[in-house]
Amino acid sequence: MSKERFGLAVAQMGPIHLNDSRESTVARLMEMMREAAGRGAKLVVFPELALTTFFPRYWMSEEDAEARFFEPSMPSPATQPLFDLALSLGIGFYLGYAERTENGRHFNTSILVDEHAKIVGRYRKIHLPGHSDHKPEAPFQHLEKKFFEVGNEGFGVWPMLGTTIGQCICNDRRWPETFRVMSLQSAQMVVLGYNTPSWNIHWKEPAHLRMFHHLLSLQANAYQNALWIGAAAKCGAEDGFHMIGGSAIVAPSGEIVAQSQSEEDEVIFVSCDMALGDNFRQHIFNFAKHRRPEHYGLITERTGAGEPLVRGTTS
């Protein structure tokens, strides 16, 4: 049982506007990285697509999007200073960005970088929300299905910084399978970034539900998988398009132990007791003892809901 403390920082970002440069954005990340390290963090979590505005809200060609918003390499010239700073501070980080592969494929990607500034883990977003067609009647678009392919590398976890860390991105947090697959690989902590528009373009969802469901998803998945979860928003109004804040650190008890107060750049920090999850893992969520996978087959056999299974009766 690990008795160690793990300093976890979540670096929320306020808006990044269309015309903001990569350099000015990276400077903001660096300032928050310094603060996180000063507060004792081993790891700082940045948002999804942390280098640009949330561009899937705009209709444009794939070529235009690639030229303006995608990174063909990581580190890139613009992000190298962030890696250099991480190395000098001895701090790890999670960063979300739009990845263009060597073969010209496009993914909504995050990386885990260790305290030696080495990329140790890469995740390509699997649960892509939104649509691929143009919806001119909508106040904004959500074109993740147009600009990105579904991630092709599964849900991984990585031994780093003295623990085992999984990563996912934004919409993934709403799906219990995301966290269960990582906790079955002994994840102790899962980190993620998000861009959650305050308005739903598909139906008149009451705005307050956006924050409620965000926190509900983090809390339920932390508890049911005995995980520490750190979630970093990009938030506020990007060129008038508002996104929720609510960056949070959630304990394996399911309790929120830190939450952002603003919709600006803001660092939150918790010295995490890494033994806390052991209590849940050894008792109520002792997977080896209590899980019944022989009854979970439909989860991988079916995608959408279908007919009830035909069952016999015992009468």
Catalytic residues: 48, 125, 170
Q: Does 195 bind ligand CDV (CB under 6 A)?
A: yes
Dist CA 45 CA 282 (whole Å): 28
Among 141, 171, 178, 247, binds ligand CDV (CB under 6 A): 171
Residue spans of alpha helices (H) in 184-291: 208-225, 276-282, 287-290
Residue (204 or 290) nearer to ligand CDV, CB = 204
Q: What is the CA radius of gyration of the chain?
A: 20
Dist CA 31 CA 16 (whole Å): 15
Binding mask 58-87 for ligand CDV (x = CB under 6 A): ------------------------------
Q: How far is the CB of 210 from ligand CDV (least distance, A)?
A: 8
Residue (178 or 195) nearer to ligand CDV, CB = 195
Give the end-to-end CA distance of the chain in Å, rounded to a whole number: 47
Residue 309 Ramachandran class (φ > 0 left, ψ -120 to 50 alpha, else beta) = beta
Among 86, 113, 170, 233, binds ligand CDV (CB under 6 A): 170
Dist CA 264 CA 243 (whole Å): 11
Is 257 exposed, middle or buried (CB count within 10 Å of its CB: 0-12, 13-18, 19+)? middle
* Choices 66-74, 133-141, 183-191, 194-202; region in contact with ligand CDV by CB under 6 A: 194-202
Among 122, 135, 174, 242, binds ligand CDV (CB under 6 A): 174
Q: Does 221 bind ligand CDV (CB under 6 A)?
A: no
Residue (196 or 219) nearer to ligand CDV, CB = 196
Q: Does 37 bind ligand CDV (CB under 6 A)?
A: no
Q: Check the CA dihedral 142-144-145-146 and report its sign.
A: positive
Dist CA 62 CA 79 (whole Å): 23
Peptide bond into 129 cis (omega under 30): no
Site for ligand CDV in 128-167 (CB under 6 A): 129, 142
Q: Does 123 bind ligand CDV (CB under 6 A)?
A: no
Residue (84 or 205) nearer to ligand CDV, CB = 205
Phi/psi for 86 (5° steps) reads -55, -40
Q: Does 40 bind ligand CDV (CB under 6 A)?
A: no
- Relative to beta strand 106-113, strand 119-124 is antiparallel
Residue (48 or 99) nearer to ligand CDV, CB = 48
Q: Does 51 bind ligand CDV (CB under 6 A)?
A: no
Residue (147 or 285) nearer to ligand CDV, CB = 147
Q: Does 241 bind ligand CDV (CB under 6 A)?
A: no
The length of the chain is: 315
What residue ranges bind ligand CDV (CB under 6 A)? Answer: 48, 129, 142, 170-171, 174, 194-196
